[in-house]
Amino acid sequence: MRITGGEARGRSISGPDGLELRPTGSKLRQAFFNILGNKLNASSFLDLCAGTGLMGLEALSRGAGSLIAVEENRKSARNIEANLKHLGYEGEVICSDLRRVIPLLAPKSFDIIYADPPYKSEIFVSIIELVDKHKILAADGLLVLEHLRNRKLPEKVGELELSSIRHYGQSSLSFYKIKD
């Protein structure tokens, strides 16, 4: 796996052996970061269901100011820590279930929250509900969920509303914002 943009562009990162992970493809990553544009600069980035950590590492490479990666698999979490060191980046890796972590995070503390649960998981709506309930998204922030194209997510959850959906092959990105 390689970083596709920013100061670490072209550098390789490793993934843990033997795990069934689905790293976000390079075309989808490039599209996502192009959509963010300048919003990424100095932003606080929360990577939920981080897996290989590729999205958070790419965010740091492209100018994010901070990263917290949440991954419940211990082997994957250690791998993310190793890749942070390998690339020379600072970041926090929390090895726990996101349902335990989100309530402990400070309100309005993240400009961008990216969640990429296993596509067959049923946690998608719970993530939106937890982000809304615990108010961890900054006022002008984005919650983005990566999912299978045919998965339907709710239009509104509390103060969060679906602002756009982008399709890339079999995958989609759903963007949520706090209602005006």
Domains identified in the chain and CATH numbers: 29-178 (3.40.50.150)
> Which two structure tokens, joined as six digits, stand for 104?
């402990």
Question: Residue 17 pLDDT more than 80?
Answer: no
Question: Residue 19 pLDDT more than 60?
Answer: no
| Stretch 41-64: mean pLDDT | 97
Confidence (pTM): 0.95
> Which two structure tokens, joined as six digits, stand for 42?
């100095």
pLDDT one-digit tens code per residue, 74-119: 999 999 999 999 999 999 999 999 999 999 999 999 999 999 999 8
Do 69 and 101 form a contact (C-beta atoms < 8 A)? no
Do 81 and 57 form a contact (C-beta atoms < 8 A)? no
What is the reported pLDDT for 18? 60
Please give the C-alpha separations between residue 127 and each of 6, 52, 134, in angstroms, as whole numbers: 28, 19, 11
Placement of tokens 């490793």 in the chain: 14
